[in-house]
């Protein structure tokens, strides 16, 4: 399978996602048989925002595939300020074989993809986090035998991670429930896309505000209540008051009869998830998810360079 770019979940079809999941699992099982896939290739990684897992997993993953990664940190500021996005894309295309970018706005990812002559990978923007959702679907497929029977719920702030997860679930055909406090759900445009995909895949999508209506679930997922870049516009006291009933803890897991809990990290312990649940080695798969970031991204890179 070859891909042109990896920008957003809804630009992939079910077959491409399932292929990426099985490729990621194969690379994880036999990394040595992929260690020349990126031989002679250099990947430029732009980070407008902080990162631990994304930065390290891309760097180490590219190294495992025989390629070279270059980190461009926040010293260059926001894309488009010091230089136009199009000039970033054209300059980096002179040297690099692919561009990984973590940006504030999705328009910067689209601008890079439009003007670069090399593939672009979205390493998080305001709307999507497709590397995370792909890794999470690898993890789900490791935890459950049949993805099509999994009941998956995201609880908390409707953000880039929940957008990517609900799109991927709808495309692949996983029943998905989204629970957000009123006013913190996804945009109507995102909800309409998900609805369209479920019509094709046949899975269900439920969006509710009432945490008591969660019902039985196999896997619960949560993420920060305030995403990077939104810190200044959020009143912490207000956020805590509004979101505390949506905290993912052992009681919620028991009520939902869920067997695993997931989090993209960084976790804000005792806010969206309790320390006890995050550290619960029987239920929490957060480090399996973190490791799978690397294998999922390796699968994306191998597919981008496949002839
Ligand atoms: N929603 C979070 C994800 C961090 C990996 C953020 O954008 O900050």
Residue from 159, 262, 296 whose mutation best tests the ligand 1 pocket (most atoms within 8 A of CB): 159
pLDDT at 234: 86
pTM of the entire predicted model: 0.98
pLDDT at 238: 93
| DSSP 8-state code for residue 273 | B
Has 82 been annotated as catalytic? no
Name the catalytic one among 59, 97, 136, 223: 223
pLDDT at 233: 86
pLDDT at 74: 83
Indicate which residue's Cα is closest to atom 2 of ligand 1.
227
Q: Residue 107 burial (CB < 10 Å; 0-12/13-18/19+)?
A: middle
Q: Could you tell me the mean pLDDT of each successive run of 10 residues in the chain, 307 residues long?
A: 90 97 98 98 96 97 98 87 95 98 97 98 98 98 97 98 98 98 98 98 98 98 95 91 98 98 98 98 98 98 92
Whole-number Å distance, alpha carbon 161 to ligand 1 midpoint, is 7
Whether residue 223 has its Cβ less than 6 Å from ligand 1 = yes
pLDDT at 77: 79
pLDDT at 225: 98
Whether residue 163 has its Cβ less than 6 Å from ligand 1 = no
Ramachandran quadrant class, 265 (left: phi over 0; alpha: psi -120 to 50; beta: rest): left
Reduce the secondary structure of 88-144 to three states and give it as a string.
Answer: HHHHHHHHCCEEEEECCCHHHHHHHHHHCCCCEEECCCCCCCHHHHHHHHHHHHHHC
pLDDT at 43: 98
């Amino acid at each position: 399978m070859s891909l042109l770019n990896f920008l957003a979940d809804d630009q992939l079809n079910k077959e491409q996602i399932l292929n990426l999941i099985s490729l990621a699992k194969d690379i994880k099982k036999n990394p040595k048989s992929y260690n020349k896939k990126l031989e002679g290739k250099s990947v430029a990684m732009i980070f407008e925002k902080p990162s631990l897992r994304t930065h390290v997993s891309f760097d180490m993953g590219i190294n495992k595939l025989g390629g070279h990664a270059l980190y461009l940190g926040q010293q260059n500021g926001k894309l488009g300020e010091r230089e136009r996005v199009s000039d970033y894309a054209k300059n980096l295309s002179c040297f690099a074989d692919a561009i990984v970018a973590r940006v504030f706005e999705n328009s910067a990812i689209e601008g890079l993809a439009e003007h670069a002559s090399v593939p672009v990978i979205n390493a998080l923007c305001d709307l999507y986090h497709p590397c995370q959702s792909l890794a999470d679907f690898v993890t789900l497929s490791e935890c459950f035998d049949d993805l099509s029977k999994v009941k998956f719920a995201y609880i908390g702030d409707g953000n880039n991670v929940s957008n990517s997860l609900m799109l991927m679930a709808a495309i692949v055909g996983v029943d998905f429930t989204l629970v957000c406090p009123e006013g913190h759900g996804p945009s109507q445009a995102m909800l309409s896309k998900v609805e369209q995909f479920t019509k094709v895949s046949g899975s269900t999508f439920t969006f509710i505000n009432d945490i008591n209506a969660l019902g039985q679930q196999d896997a619960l997922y949560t993420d920060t209540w305030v995403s990077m870049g939104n810190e200044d516009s959020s009143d912490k006291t207000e956020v805590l008051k509004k979101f505390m009933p949506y905290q993912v803890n052992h009681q919620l897991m028991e009520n939902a009869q869920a067997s695993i809990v997931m989090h993209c990290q960084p976790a804000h312990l005792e806010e969206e998830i309790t320390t006890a649940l995050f550290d619960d080695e029987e239920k929490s798969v957060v480090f399996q998810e973190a490791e799978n970031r690397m294998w999922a991204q390796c699968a994306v890179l191998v597919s981008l360079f496949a002839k």
